[in-house]
Structure 1
């Protein structure tokens, strides 16, 4: 008989119930949404992620790092020994301050850079400021994204399409271009794509299209900079419980069933994504380039 803290129970965890199967109530937040107001709360790894020093001394810029997946990645990177520059919208300051505090509790440095990635000038300024604050840059996570559900293409405004593409893929071009001028051999770029790149939901036409573009961008850029010793990869999340879903990212009526159609029968938590980003940033993945690592609860992908 074993107690709740034995090594066996920590290692042999059933993925079906390692995290709870949530039934979120119908709720609405103004875009971009806050983790602080999400019901139920998402697990970003504050208590659950354990580091082993795999990113010791790394200097990372992470976009969309105030909440959700980006926050979980930022916390994991800090637990693994990295200093982190956090990029986020000014409206998300409350969440960003929380993540900064968690990082500093880990004994690592965190720098806050609020701003709008649809602004061309801000993208360049962001990279420059991050390099100055961190003392260099050798890891970039392009994670920021915009997702607004629209049921009928007739109601999909030109403004929304433009903002979604600018946020999700154009900003990725701009930030990567600026970052690569500072990145030495051994650096890494990890982009956030989605299951939507393979299985587009009818109500997410613009969002899903950008995610397919990110897959292509990742594979092309990986080949271009491989000779410089810089690796580029991507992570494709499935249904992950974040503020993106309640700030018009999903139809409100669909929220209670969010993620239940996966083979595991539940939505994922942001902290479950973090190890994929850590792996692709660490030297352990030195022969992995142009890959999209799917973390989606078992949903089949090409």
Structure 2
């Protein structure tokens, strides 16, 4: 594990080449039970006030990439609201403690983003309790593998679309009533949008949609001073993977197909989101920033 995100070392060996057990855990999975554990930057993310005074809403902020982003945002000076499923309360409270330890306000918002009313509610509560919103991170995602389209349940396809696409649409629409000029929207897409796996047809479809949504909306909002961008992670070790995100037999080799030969850790994604949220990226609009361990994207 690096001392901090600036540590100079070989990226091939920056984190361990893990070999998770072939065990599937119940969805949605929990970071507190992940084997081996993931790194969210709890012990090594070093902040420099790049988001001082900002108000951020991060969906899926209890675990995985969202948790790493929430920690990094707080250490960069932002107050952070995190949205998560009620079953993930333990993980959410652990991240809220990290936010508060950084001297920032943490707002925890449990619920179901596939319900339109809840998506509206989390934006309203963020504005009311944090005093505004100027960063929206649409990160919550659903991924369940299926080896045969004929056996992919309609209910699963619908839930994946609602979690990954509809919630993004609803949250963004609600947030636009409050986002000021200088505000930013960051969506989480995936390398699956470019290199779709045969067992992730529904998931890959949503990630391609997120790319298109990001680029179209970026053009619409740029004249208003609101920037829209996306991050495309490669194989990142999060609870999404062992909770039916991958076939159990593929878990021991998860991420080994990348040129770096290992999966990424959530902490390795956080700097990309910080960059896109900060004024440093003021001329970056409609971009999809790939963090894939070398897996090629257009």
Both proteins in one fold, TM over 0.5:
yes
CA distance in 2, matches of 1:134, 1:51: 20
CA distance in 2, matches of 1:300, 1:63: 27
Equivalent position of 2:239 in the other structure = 243
Could you report, residue by residue, the CA deviation over 1:92-119 in whole angstroms, capped at 9, with x for unpaired residues?
A: 0000000000111111110000000000
CA distance in 1, matches of 2:181, 2:93: 32
CA distance in 2, matches of 1:299, 1:22: 18
Could you report, residue by residue, the CA deviation over 1:230-265 in whole angstroms, capped at 9, with x for unpaired residues?
A: 000000000000000011000000000000010000
Cα RMSD for the two superposed structures: 1.4
Q: How does 1:115-194 map to 2 (within 5 A)?
A: 115-194=111-190
CA distance in 1, matches of 2:292, 2:61: 20
Equivalent position of 1:227 in the other structure = 223
Equivalent position of 1:36 in the other structure = 32
Equivalent position of 2:60 in the other structure = 64
CA distance in 2, matches of 1:133, 1:249: 34
- How far has the Cα of 1:30 moved from its partner? 1.0
Say if 2:89 is the partner of 1:88: no
CA distance in 1, matches of 2:32, 2:24: 13
CA distance in 1, matches of 2:19, 2:194: 25
Equivalent position of 1:290 in the other structure = 286
Structure 1 runs (4+) deviating above 6 angstroms are: none
- How far has the Cα of 1:12 moved from its partner? 2.3
CA distance in 1, matches of 2:247, 2:92: 26
Q: How does 1:188-227 map to 2 (within 5 A)?
A: 188-227=184-223
- How far has the Cα of 1:140 moved from its partner? 0.3
Q: How many residues align?
A: 297
CA distance in 2, matches of 1:175, 1:298: 31
Equivalent position of 1:77 in the other structure = 73
Q: Could you list the runs of 5+ residues in structure 2 that have no partner in the other structure?
A: none
- How far has the Cα of 1:27 moved from its partner? 1.8
CA distance in 1, matches of 2:75, 2:24: 32
Could you report, residue by residue, the CA deviation over 1:159-189 in whole angstroms, capped at 9, with x for unpaired residues?
A: 0000000000011000000001001100000
Equivalent position of 2:296 in the other structure = 300
Q: How does 1:8-47 map to 2 (within 5 A)?
A: 11-47=7-43
- How far has the Cα of 1:28 moved from its partner? 1.9
- How far has the Cα of 1:11 moved from its partner? 4.0
Question: Is the alpha carbon distance of 1:184 and 1:37 closer, same or farther for their aligned partners in structure 2, counting shifts above 3 Å?
Answer: same
Q: Could you list the runs of 5+ residues in structure 1 that have no partner in the other structure?
A: none
Could you report, residue by residue, the CA deviation over 1:4-52 in whole angstroms, capped at 9, with x for unpaired residues?
A: 98x9x96421111111111111122211110000000000010021111
TM-score by length of 2: 0.98
Question: Is the alpha carbon distance of 1:173 and 1:254 closer, same or farther for their aligned partners in structure 2, counting shifts above 3 Å?
Answer: same
Q: Report the secondary structure of 2:179's partner residue.
A: coil
TM-score by length of 1: 0.97
CA distance in 1, matches of 2:180, 2:64: 29
CA distance in 1, matches of 2:129, 2:271: 25
Could you report, residue by residue, the CA deviation over 1:122-163 in whole angstroms, capped at 9, with x for unpaired residues?
A: 011110011111100000000000000000101101000000
Q: Report the secondary structure of 2:57's partner residue.
A: strand
CA distance in 2, matches of 1:94, 1:281: 27
